[in-house]
């Protein structure tokens, strides 16, 4: 059940990383509203299909608008919402299967346009809702319900992919640190362009990676999550690329290109080209 | 056949030889002085070259179809000559490029004209078409001045071009010194009303704009690309957006998002793209998002016949998505109706808050025609019922249509493609699925305002074409009427929902004959499912019906029916 709708019966499993991501998104939207004095109604959360997409029904407190669409197509829908009304603060929530498998074709075009939406990817390395199939970020050789002899594909490194596609803001985080995540999401909302906050969000049922993320230094197990060095400069592409290439789960803002205009700015810059293009004038161009 | 008041001229050759523009030039020049004309075009699916042909039908009176037989064939190469000579009527004329060596059949009349060589004499090598027009003017007994005036107006201010083109016209005419006219349109009878010369795709675009379209995202695909290009150039300015997407899947997603955000959103595509949009259209139906998708049909399935005409997407238009749905479909039957369909589709989408499909087709989309100028004053742009109350609204609670909240305003909800409860949260409970299914279907009742045409209301058999077969159907019907054949006429572009009174009338008929360009007889099948005794007259050549052939098939069917009745 959700706080606002006792009849709603979808539940995340106990300990699911998505709880932390939800909290982080709530923080970020609240912070954004206070900072920019905008109403909650200006926030639109566009969700894909999967455990992650159900976040849009589980938000607590004052409700934003939501669009819970079809598998893999959250980005195209967000393109329409944002360009339909550029004043809206548009957030996409998606999972690794939704975003990096069926939906991957949509990342590069938004990056090329620098579409001004903020995407929060909940990466649990597995298809949870359909019960444990391998996803693009599942490790190679992993045995899952759909890879009985081990996964035969290499795992995708999402951060390298985003860098290669030209995403202008790339952050990486961990679902157990919602305050930090909220900060990355808020900065993504403030970034005038395409932002992705990629979050390691473990699935306690099919792919529980909490132990690996935290590691166990006393036993010599390096944590998968690692803090960016204090002097990391996200505006330096070469540094960002090295962070992305290293793998694991870096914690922080990996890349931030502040030099490109947002898509809506480019569109509004040609608004004057529409002068004299009222319907009557356009129709008269066909006069015989 | 001197004295006939219309002619069909066909230009056939390679893409890039000026074939594409020739028919439009004839039609423009003729309509400028007051004749009526329409063009028909079929292009190869390649950038340069490939067999291409276009034709123009020009007449004193309004014309509705590309025409049955060719009066004058202009063949720019041997392939074109061999391919198209069979369509030239007895007594017709073939103008040939010198590269063609005719193997004359009995009664065939050809004249070789060195188009390119004469064009070079004018100093403007692109004037080859003018040489053709000059020769043509003699064959159709049209004063050369009509063409000259048109050239002067078209290239106003570019004296060199005008002089060269006028010279080309003179040289062409001189080639025909020994040849008599084969048609005579007589003096033009210029209509008293204001006219537009426009193609079907542009008319659709204008209709949508007239109804307030302000958001367009599309992906290039023949024969729908002209809509995208028109919008990108003209749907520009504050609050407007037109853009090329990375795929049809992105295009449908984008207009879903925009419709949700309060815009009047549309895309145009053809068969393959329409298939890709299926899942998104299901989402629009489910989440109740207003939007319009134009499917400019071509031959299918798969890549099919990208540059030919067909009416084979009707079943998909009615049910583009999986699951329980039935989509509103408007199929214009003429260039004028393309304008009306564009406007009506936008209005329907806003009125019932859901997706609307417009089924155009290649032959209409590329048809350039003089039409009565669309009356913008007659288009009433309908506005969505927008929610203005306080928060806590249950967007999907009502049994029928309810005001729609718009992001930024009150009434935040979740637009959901999963079955949902009144708020928009996902549910699997039977009572919600029953409620929402009935709500979605019930809204279609708001779309019963479609108009229809009726002639000889009492006849027990009726002819009822749909979409782009309307023009051929009308001309076939006129032939049948002239012969005194007992048959009525019904037509509507509102295929779903059908105008309720029309459906009642059709159910009373003994036989409803449906000419349609597909193998299965798709619309006839739909009508039968609605309790109408419908039979299809099908054709699947990639080309439109010829009126004469269609009239004959109707007579054959009625005759066979009569014999059967005697037997029984």
Give domain status of residue B186, yes or no.
no
Is pLDDT above 50 for B535? yes
Residue A86, classed as helix, strand or coil, is coil
Instruction: For strands B6-14 and B51-59, give the pairing.
Output: antiparallel
Residue B189: inside a domain? no
Instruction: Average the pLDDT over each of A188-192, B5-9, B429-433, B506-510 and give the range with the smallest value.
Output: B5-9
Comparing CA positions, the residue from B517, B511, B471, B518 lying closest to residue B491 is: B471
Among A85, A267, A280, select the one facing B261 at the smallest CB separation.
A85
Residue B3, both tokens: 């004295």
C-alpha B296/C-alpha B64 separation (Å) is 19
Interface touch B427/A9, C-beta < 8 Å: yes
Cβ distance A84 to B258 less than 8 Å, yes or no, reads yes
- Domain identity same for B289 and B407: no
The pLDDT confidence band at residue B103, using thresholds 50, 70 and 90, is confident
Using a CB-CB distance cutoff of 8 angstroms, which residues of chain B are in contact with residue A81? 257-258, 260-261, 407
Q: In this structure, are B202 and B278 located in the same domain?
A: yes
- The whole-number pLDDT of residue B561 equals 60
Same domain, B146 and B23: yes
- Asked if residue B184 is part of any domain, the answer here is no
CB B494 within 8 A of CB B464: no
Short-list B118, B122, B181, B133, CA closest to B29:
B133
Reading the block at residue B340, the tokens are 């009306």
DSSP state, residue A99? I
What does the pLDDT read at residue B323?
97
CATH of the domain at B280: 3.40.50.970
Say yes or no: B389 and B370 in one domain.
no
Domain boundary among B378, B409, B426: B378
Alpha helices in B486-546 (DSSP H): 500-507, 522-529
* Dist CA B21 CA A287 (whole Å): 19
Do B267 and B409 share a domain, yes or no? no
> What are the pLDDT digits (tens) for B220-255?
999 999 999 999 999 999 999 999 999 999 999 999
Mean pLDDT, residues B339-366 taken together: 98
B32 with B147, same domain?
yes
- For residue A4, the chain B residues in CB contact (below 8 A) are 423
Across the interface, whether the CB atoms of A81 and B373 are under 8 A apart is answered no
Asked whether residue B18 is domain-assigned, the answer is yes
Q: How far apart are the first and last CA of chain B?
A: 46
Residue-wise pLDDT for B472-517, tens only, equals 999 999 999 999 999 999 999 999 999 999 999 999 999 999 999 9
Q: Within 10 Å of residue A132's Cβ, how many Cβ atoms?
A: 18
**β-pair partners for B536:** B514
Is B417 in the A-facing interface, judged by CB distances under 8 Å?
yes
Q: Do B257 and A80 touch (CB under 8 A)?
A: yes
Q: Which of B154, B179, B184 is nearest to B166 (CA)?
A: B154
Domain assignment present for B185: no
Which of B246, B253, B282, B406 should we substitute to test contact with A (largest number of A Cβ atoms within 10 Å)?
B253
For the stretch B133-154, pLDDT in tens is: 999 999 998 899 999 999 999 8
Residue B252 belongs to some domain of the structure: yes
Chain B nearest-CA residue for A87: B408
Q: What is the pLDDT of residue B101?
A: 84
- Whether B161 and B137 share a structural domain: yes
Q: Is the pLDDT of residue A1 over 60?
A: no
Statement to judge: residues B404 and B265 lie in one domain? no
**Contact of A134 with A156, CB cutoff 8 Å:** no
Residue B399 included in any domain: yes
Instruction: Dump pLDDT digits (tens) for A233-247.
Output: 999 999 999 999 999
B147 and B16 both lie in a single domain: yes
Q: Are B264 and A84 in contact (CB under 8 A)?
A: no
- B286 phi, psi to nearest 5 deg: -70, -50
A57 closest CB neighbour out of B243, B247, B426: B426
Q: What is the pLDDT of residues B372-415, one digit of tens each?
A: 999 999 999 999 999 999 999 999 999 999 999 999 999 999 99
User: HEC string of A192-221?
Assistant: CCCEEEEEECCECCCECCHHHHHCEHHHCE
Average pLDDT over residues B181-194: 91
Q: Quick check: A158 and A195 in contact, CB under 8 A?
A: no
State how far Cα B186 lies from the chain centre: 30
State whether B464 and B537 are in the same domain: yes
Pair B85, B165 in one domain? yes
**Are A83 and B198 within 8 A, CB to CB?**
no
Within B261-392, residue ranges assigned H as helices are 271-276, 278-287, 314-318, 335-352, 362-365
pLDDT cut 90: percent of chain A above it: 94
Q: Are A45 and A65 in contact (CB under 8 A)?
A: yes
- Which among B307, B306, B326 is positioned nearest to B317, based on CA atoms? B326
Q: pLDDT digit string (tens) for A91-116? A: 999 999 999 999 999 999 999 999 99
Q: How many domains does chain B have?
A: 4
In chain B, residues 266-285 whose CB comes closer than 8 Å to chain A: 279-280, 282-283
pLDDT tens digits, one per residue of B557-567? 999 765 554 44
Q: What is the pLDDT of residues A142-157, one digit of tens each?
A: 999 999 999 999 999 9
Report the distance separating Cα A123 and Cα A128, nearest Å: 11
- List strand residue ranges (DSSP E) for chain A, in order: 43-47, 65-68, 89-95, 118-123, 169-174, 195-200, 225-227, 249-256
> What is the pairing mode between strands A118-123 and B461-463?
unpaired
Q: Are the C-beta atoms of residues A71 and A49 closer than 8 Å to each other?
A: yes
Long-range contacts at B552-555 (CB < 8 A, ≥ 24 apart): B553/B515, B554/B463, B554/B476, B554/B480, B554/B485, B554/B487, B554/B513, B555/B480, B555/B483, B555/B485
Residue B568's pLDDT is 38
Q: If pLDDT is split at 50, 70 and 90, which confidence band does B14 have?
A: confident
For residue B2, the model assigns a pLDDT of: 41
Q: Distance between CA B133 and CA B120 in Å, rounded?
A: 16
Question: Rounded mean pLDDT of chain A?
Answer: 96
Q: Is residue B191 part of a domain?
A: no
Inter-chain contact A271–B253, Cβ cutoff 8 Å? no
| Cross-chain Cβ contact A57/B249 below 8 Å | no
Instruction: Output the six-digit token pair for B367.
Output: 């048809």
- Name the pairing type of β-strands A195-200 and A169-174: parallel
**Is the Cβ–Cβ distance between A209 and A49 less than 8 Å?**
no
- C-alpha to C-alpha distance for A114 and A257, rounded to whole angstroms: 10
CB–CB contact B260 A273 (8 Å): no
Task: Identify which of B197, B252, B410 has the shortest CB distance to residue A288.
Answer: B197
Query: What's residue B1's pLDDT?
Result: 41
Confidence of residue A9 (pLDDT cuts 50, 70, 90): confident
What average pLDDT score do residues A175-199 get? 98
**Helical (H) or strand (E) element with B169:** helix B159-175
Whose structure tokens read 């009125």?
Answer: B351
* Same structural domain, B462 and B331: no
Q: Which CATH architecture has domain A17-261?
A: 3-Layer(aba) Sandwich (3.40)
> pLDDT digit string (tens) for A179-188?
999 999 999 9
Q: Which residues of B419-432 are buried (b: 16+ CB within 10 A; e: fewer)?
A: bbbbbbbbbeeeeb
Strand pairing report for B355-361 and B453-455: unpaired
pLDDT of A258 over the 90 cut: yes
Specify the higher pLDDT residue, B468 or B17: B468
Which range of residues forms the domain containing residue B67? Answer: 6-175
């Amino acid at each position: 059940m959700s706080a606002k709708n006792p009849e709603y019966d979808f539940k995340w499993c106990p300990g699911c990383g998505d709880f932390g991501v939800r909290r982080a998104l709530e923080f970020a939207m609240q912070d954004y509203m206070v900072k920019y004095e905008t109403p909650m109604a200006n926030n639109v959360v566009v969700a894909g299909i999967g455990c992650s997409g159900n976040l849009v029904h589980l938000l607590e407190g004052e409700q934003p608008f939501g669009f819970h669409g079809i598998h893999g197509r959250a980005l195209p829908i967000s393109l329409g919402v944002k360009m339909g009304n550029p004043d809206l603060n548009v957030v996409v929530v998606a999972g690794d299967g939704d975003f990096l498998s069926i939906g991957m074709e949509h990342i590069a075009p938004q990056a090329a346009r620098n579409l001004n939406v903020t995407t929060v990817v909940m990466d649990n390395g597995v298809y949870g809702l359909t019960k444990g199939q391998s996803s693009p970020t599942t490790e190679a050789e992993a045995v899952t319900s759909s890879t009985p002899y081990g996964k035969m594909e290499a795992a995708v490194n999402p951060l390298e992919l985003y860098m290669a596609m030209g995403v202008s803001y790339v952050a990486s985080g961990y679902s157990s640190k919602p305050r930090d995540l909220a900060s990355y999401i808020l900065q993504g909302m403030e970034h005038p362009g395409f932002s992705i906050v990629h979050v390691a969000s473990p699935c306690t049922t099919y792919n529980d990676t909490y132990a690996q993320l935290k590691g166990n230094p006393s036993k010599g197990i390096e944590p998968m999550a690692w803090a960016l060095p204090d002097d990391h400069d996200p505006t330096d592409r070469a540094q960002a690329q090295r962070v992305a290439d290293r793998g694991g789960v870096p914690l922080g803002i990996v890349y931030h290109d502040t030099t490109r205009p947002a898509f809506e700015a480019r569109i509004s810059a040609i608004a004057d080209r529409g002068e004299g293009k009222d319907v009557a004038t356009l129709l008269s161009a066909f006069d015989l | 056949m001197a004295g006939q008041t219309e002619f069909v001229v066909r230009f056939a050759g390679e893409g890039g030889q000026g074939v594409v523009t020739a028919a439009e030039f004839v039609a423009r020049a003729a309509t400028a002085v007051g004749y009526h004309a329409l063009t028909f075009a079929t292009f190869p699916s390649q950038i340069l070259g490939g067999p291409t042909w276009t034709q123009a039908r020009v007449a004193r009176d309004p014309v509705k179809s590309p025409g049955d037989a060719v009066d004058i064939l202009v063949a720019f190469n041997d392939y074109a000559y061999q391919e198209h000579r069979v369509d030239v009527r007895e007594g017709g004329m073939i103008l040939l490029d010198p590269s063609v060596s005719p193997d004359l059949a009995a009664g065939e009349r050809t004249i070789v004209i060195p188009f390119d060589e004469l064009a070079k004499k004018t100093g403007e090598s692109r004037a080859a078409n003018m040489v053709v027009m000059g020769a043509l003017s003699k064959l159709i007994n049209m004063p050369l001045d009509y063409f000259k005036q048109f050239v002067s107006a078209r290239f106003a201010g570019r004296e060199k071009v005008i002089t060269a083109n006028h010279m080309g016209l003179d040289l062409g005419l001189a080639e025909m010194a020994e040849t008599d006219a084969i048609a005579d349109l007589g003096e033009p009878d210029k209509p008293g009303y204001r006219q537009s010369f426009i193609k079907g795709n542009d008319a659709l675009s204008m209709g949508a704009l007239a109804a307030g379209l302000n958001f367009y995202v599309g992906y290039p695909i023949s024969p729908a690309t002209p809509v995208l290009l028109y919008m990108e150039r003209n749907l520009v300015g504050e609050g407007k957006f037109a853009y090329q997407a990375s795929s049809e899947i992105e295009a449908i997603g984008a207009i879903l998002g925009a419709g949700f955000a309060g815009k009047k959103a549309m895309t145009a595509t053809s068969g393959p793209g329409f298939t890709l949009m299926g899942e998104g259209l299901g989402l629009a139906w489910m989440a109740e998002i207003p939007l319009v998708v134009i499917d400019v049909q071509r031959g299918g399935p798969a890549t099919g016949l990208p540059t030919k005409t067909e009416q084979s997407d009707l079943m998909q238009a009615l049910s583009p998505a999986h699951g329980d749905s039935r989509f509103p479909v408007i199929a214009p039957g003429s260039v004028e109706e393309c304008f009306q369909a564009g406007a009506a589709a936008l209005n329907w989408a806003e009125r019932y808050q859901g997706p609307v499909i417009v089924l155009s087709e290649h032959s209409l989309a590329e048809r350039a025609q003089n039409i009565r100028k669309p009356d913008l004053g007659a288009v009433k742009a309908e506005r969505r019922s927008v929610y203005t109350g306080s928060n806590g609204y249950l967007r999907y609670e009502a049994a029928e249509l309810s005001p729609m909240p718009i992001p930024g305003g009150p009434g935040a909800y979740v637009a959901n493609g999963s079955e949902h409860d009144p708020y928009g949260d996902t549910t699997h409970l039977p009572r919600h699925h029953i409620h929402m299914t009935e709500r979605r279907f019930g809204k279609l009742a708001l779309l019963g305002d479609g108009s229809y045409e009726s002639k000889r209301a009492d006849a027990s058999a009726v002819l009822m074409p749909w979409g782009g077969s309307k023009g051929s159907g009308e001309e076939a019907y006129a032939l049948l009427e002239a012969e005194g054949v007992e048959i009525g006429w019904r037509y509507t572009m509102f295929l779903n929902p059908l105008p309720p009174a029309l459906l009642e009338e059709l159910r009373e008929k003994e036989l409803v004959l449906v000419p349609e360009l597909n193998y299965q007889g798709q619309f006839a099948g739909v009508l039968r499912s609605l309790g109408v005794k419908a039979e299809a007259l099908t054709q699947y050549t990639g080309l439109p019906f010829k009126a004469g052939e269609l009239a004959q098939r109707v007579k054959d069917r009625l005759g066979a029916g009569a014999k059967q009745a005697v037997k029984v």
